[in-house]
């Protein structure tokens, strides 16, 4: 039985858990749900769910967002395989009035908070790793918040794309979500995003083809 097919595989594939030894992983199995399928468009989590778990996205993609009274949707995170969510409610009870929606057919594992807390007590290494995960998330949200409030639409888009470029091996990469959703993430209307991408093309900065972005003049 290889790790790929074992009940622990899903957890082991998440960076947060990847350094745990097999025995520890196995100890988590009874407290976890294994690779549930969430079809595209279904909710992995809704506000007021009995949210007693941490979610690990094993396969697929998802968006984490909040909806205002007026119906406006704001995307906070876009999840890719290996990403984790639900840490916010690990310790204190917090209102987490956001949705997690599968953007494609996705597989999700979850670990109960209780089990995870117990594991944290025993494993300082895991705690440090989670601290790191939090730190990354915090920096990402701060970054987006700064971008939102200090840059005009065009530069905001460019700034986002450059970040993507930095974490890509080639000068071409794919947007992780539909443009409509990217717009929400960047605090723009879809129309404005479309226009700004066009403007950036006219400036000769990028080439856009569907979800594929190519930087014409790699900076640095």
> Could you give the CA distance from residue 3 to residue 10 in angstroms, rounded to a whole number?
9
> Could you give the CA distance from residue 41 to residue 190 in angstroms, rounded to a whole number?
19
> Could you give the CA distance from residue 145 to residue 141 in angstroms, rounded to a whole number?
6
Footprint (CB under 7 A) of DNA, residues 166-205: 178-180, 187-195, 197-198
Rounded to the nearest whole angstrom, what is the least distance from the CB of residue 170 to DNA in the complex? 20
> Could you give the CA distance from residue 81 to residue 119 in angstroms, rounded to a whole number?
22
- Told to check if 153 binds DNA by CB under 7 A, we report yes
- Told to check if 207 binds DNA by CB under 7 A, we report no
Of the pair 132, 212, the CB lying nearest a second copy is at: 132
- Told to check if 74 binds DNA by CB under 7 A, we report no
Of the pair 105, 163, the CB lying nearest DNA is at: 105
Number of residues that bind a second copy (CB under 8 A): 39
Q: DSSP H helical segments within the chain, as ranges?
A: 9-13, 22-28, 113-122, 124-150, 153-166, 179-186, 190-202
> Could you give the CA distance from residue 35 to residue 59 in angstroms, rounded to a whole number?
9
> Could you give the CA distance from residue 190 to residue 208 in angstroms, rounded to a whole number?
15
- Told to check if 82 binds a second copy by CB under 8 A, we report no
Of the pair 43, 91, the CB lying nearest a second copy is at: 91
Footprint (CB under 8 A) of a second copy, residues 109-148: 120-121, 124, 127-128, 130-132, 134-139, 141-142, 144-146, 148
Give me the residues that bind DNA (CB under 7 A), please.
40, 72, 152-154, 156, 178-180, 187-195, 197-198, 208, 210-211
């Amino acid at each position: 039985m290889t790790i790929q097919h074992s009940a622990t595989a899903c957890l082991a594939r998440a960076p947060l858990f990847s350094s745990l030894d097999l025995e520890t992983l196995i100890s988590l199995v009874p407290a976890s749900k294994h690779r549930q399928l969430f079809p595209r468009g279904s909710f992995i989590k809704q506000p007021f769910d009995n949210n007693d778990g941490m979610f690990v996205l094993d396969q697929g993609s998802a968006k984490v967002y909040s909806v205002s009274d007026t119906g406006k949707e704001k995307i906070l995170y876009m999840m890719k395989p290996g990403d984790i969510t639900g840490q916010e409610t690990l310790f204190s009870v917090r209102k987490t009035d956001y949705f997690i929606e599968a953007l494609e057919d996705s597989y999700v594992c979850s670990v109960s908070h209780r089990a995870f807390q117990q594991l944290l007590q025993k494993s300082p290494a895991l705690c440090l790793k989670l601290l790191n995960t939090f730190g990354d998330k915090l920096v990402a949200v701060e970054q987006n918040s700064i971008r939102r409030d200090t840059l005009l639409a065009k530069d905001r888009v460019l700034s986002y794309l450059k970040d993507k470029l930095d974490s890509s091996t080639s000068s071409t990469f794919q947007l992780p979500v539909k443009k409509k959703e990217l717009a929400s993430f960047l605090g723009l209307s879809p129309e404005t995003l479309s226009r700004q991408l066009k403007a950036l093309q006219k400036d000769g900065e990028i080439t856009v083809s569907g979800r594929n972005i190519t930087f014409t003049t790699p900076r640095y």
